[in-house]
Amino acid sequence: MRTTVTTTLPAKPSVRSAQHAKRALLARRHVVAPALKVADAAAASVFGAARLRGPIARDAIAQVTGLSIATVNRQVTALLEAGVLRERADLAVSGAIGRPRVPVEVNHEPFLTLGIHIGARSLSIVAADLFGRTLDVVETPTPRAPQAAALASLADSARRYLGRWHRRRPLWVGVAAGGVVDSATGYLDHPRLGWSEAPVGPVLAEALGLPVSVASHVDAMAGAELLLGGRRQPSDTSTSLYVYARETVGYALSIGGRVHSPASGPGTIAALPAHSELLGGTGQLESTVSDEAVLIAARKARILPAEGPASTMPALFKLARQGGRPAQQLLAERARVLGEAVALLRDMLNPDDLIVGGQAFTEYPEGMSVVEAAFAQRSVMPAREIRLTVFGNRVQEAGAGVVSLGGLYADPIGAMRRAQRRRPGRPPEGHTDSTE
């Protein structure tokens, strides 16, 4: 996929003010705070039962959700009219009379949602179906142009990508990004990219004419575990801690089936104390365990060459798996520091469930035994299992996907109404191939 970078001339103050006013209006109309929670409204519960257990009959939905059969019938009718459920008359029980005995299932083929993960180094664009399954994903370097040009490039890439899908109608756009996200307006501060108050949500809403939700990428990954991870339904009081590490480090806390997202943005663990003579760093966690820090240490120790295609994390993993002792020691040291950091967070927050994700854990699973040993030695609380994310190296795309689906899962009828109010648009020229 080709990413086109455009340049823009500085706007005059009056023009800039008009642009800001337009984006503010778009934010009110199209930017929607992400719904990273297990919803309990009637329509959401019925849709969730069909998504997780379908094809399913109405009486079975009533048993699963605890709703009355009359409520289930009303919600099924509304979801059928909205187009997100369909009946399976071919699966009706033999001899049964009446539509209530006809099973229903998610009507996933006509629709897709678009997820975008904005990483420090790479950008992923993901098409997902209504089950949260990835239909297609493309990855490109994150645009390094000035902020306005980078956002224009991002919007153009997303618009062109959607133009390839002729058999499915896009419903929603979800963005997961590092930095500090204002989920109410879709604005983003991302110091590593040089972005300040970047109107990511409004720019995408203007370009695509779709509802847009923007979330912190670690919150999004925790939401993917909650909504797409296939675990049992959380209780009203259960808590879950998600710890992420790759180029950056971060954490998210879920409480009672909802990802806790402070209004002022997520907290940071980048500056947690961490010490490693082998890895170096500045005595802080992120500068010690990030991919960049590990590569710097590997080059300094001459485990990897100073530059070139053999001076990458995959090359380091390959050396370790081939029995290279220095590479194994370096990765084991990273695992030790991570295990101690996870123990510190666990002891502070004492969650019921503890999950780790990100390529620092998943790309070298051989290091998990070291993580677990360091965790057990450092923690002062009773033993607790560390669970590795179910999404493996796909955690970024899963996070972006769930941000694009959260609104639908929380309020399927309202989400379909909002999506149908999108501005009509024509597919971009030059894109005639469907990815299906």
| The 3-state secondary structure of 232-256, one letter per residue | CCCCCCCEEEEEEECCCEEEEEEEC
How confident is the model at residue 338, as a pLDDT? 98
**What's the rounded mean pLDDT across residues 256-267?**
84
How confident is the model at residue 55, as a pLDDT? 95
- At 412-432, the pLDDT tens digits run 999 999 988 654 444 433 333
Query: What is the residue type of 226?
Result: L
Rounded percentage of the chain residues whose pLDDT exceeds 70: 88
How confident is the model at residue 427, as a pLDDT? 41
Q: Is the pLDDT at 345 greater than 90, yes or no?
A: yes
Q: Is the pLDDT at 237 greater than 90, yes or no?
A: no
Q: How confident is the model at residue 99 (pLDDT cuts 50, 70, 90)?
A: low
Q: How far apart are CA 331 and CA 367, in angstroms?
A: 7
How confident is the model at residue 95, as a pLDDT? 57
Q: Which CATH class is domain 111-223+395-415?
A: alpha beta
Q: Which CATH class is domain 42-106?
A: mainly alpha
**Cβ atoms within 10 A of the Cβ of 313, count?**
20
Instruction: Report CA-CA distances (Å) from 249 to 176, 288, 289, 358, 391.
Output: 15, 10, 8, 9, 17
- At 198-208, the pLDDT tens digits run 999 999 999 99
When the pLDDT of each residue in the chain is averaged and rounded to a whole number, the result is 88
Query: What is the residue type of 251?
Result: Y
- At 5-19, the pLDDT tens digits run 333 434 444 545 555
Strand, helix or coil at 118? strand
Q: Which CATH class is domain 231-389?
A: alpha beta
Q: How confident is the model at residue 23 (pLDDT cuts 50, 70, 90)?
A: low
SS3 content of the chain, % helix, strand, coil (to 5): 45, 20, 35
Nearest Cα neighbor of 118 from 182, 200, 185, 37 is 200
Q: How confident is the model at residue 104 (pLDDT cuts 50, 70, 90)?
A: very high
- At 109-127, the pLDDT tens digits run 999 999 999 998 899 999 9
Nearest Cα neighbor of 237 from 352, 346, 348 is 352
CATH 3.30.420.40 domain locations along the chain: 111-223+395-415, 231-389
How confident is the model at residue 6, as a pLDDT? 38
Within 8 A by CB and 6+ apart from 53, the residues are: 60, 64
Instruction: State the greatest distance between any 2 C-alpha atoms of the chain, in Å, as a whole number.
Output: 75
Q: Which residue has the higher pLDDT, 423 or 149?
A: 149
Nearest Cα neighbor of 137 from 118, 156, 161 is 161
Q: Which residue has the higher pLDDT, 222 or 16?
A: 222
- Give the global pTM: 0.86
Strand, helix or coil at 212? strand
Radius of gyration (C-alpha) of the chain in whole angstroms:
23
Within 8 A by CB and 6+ apart from 431, the residues are: 160, 163, 164
CATH 1.10.10.10 domain locations along the chain: 42-106
- At 281-336, the pLDDT tens digits run 789 999 999 999 999 999 999 999 999 989 999 999 999 999 999 999 999 999 99
Within 8 A by CB and 6+ apart from 415, the residues are: 171, 172, 211, 407, 408
- At 384-408, the pLDDT tens digits run 999 999 999 999 999 999 999 999 9
- Own/partner contacts of 432-435, CB < 8 Å, gap of 24 or more, are 433/164, 434/164, 434/165, 434/166, 434/167, 435/127, 435/135, 435/136, 435/164, 435/165
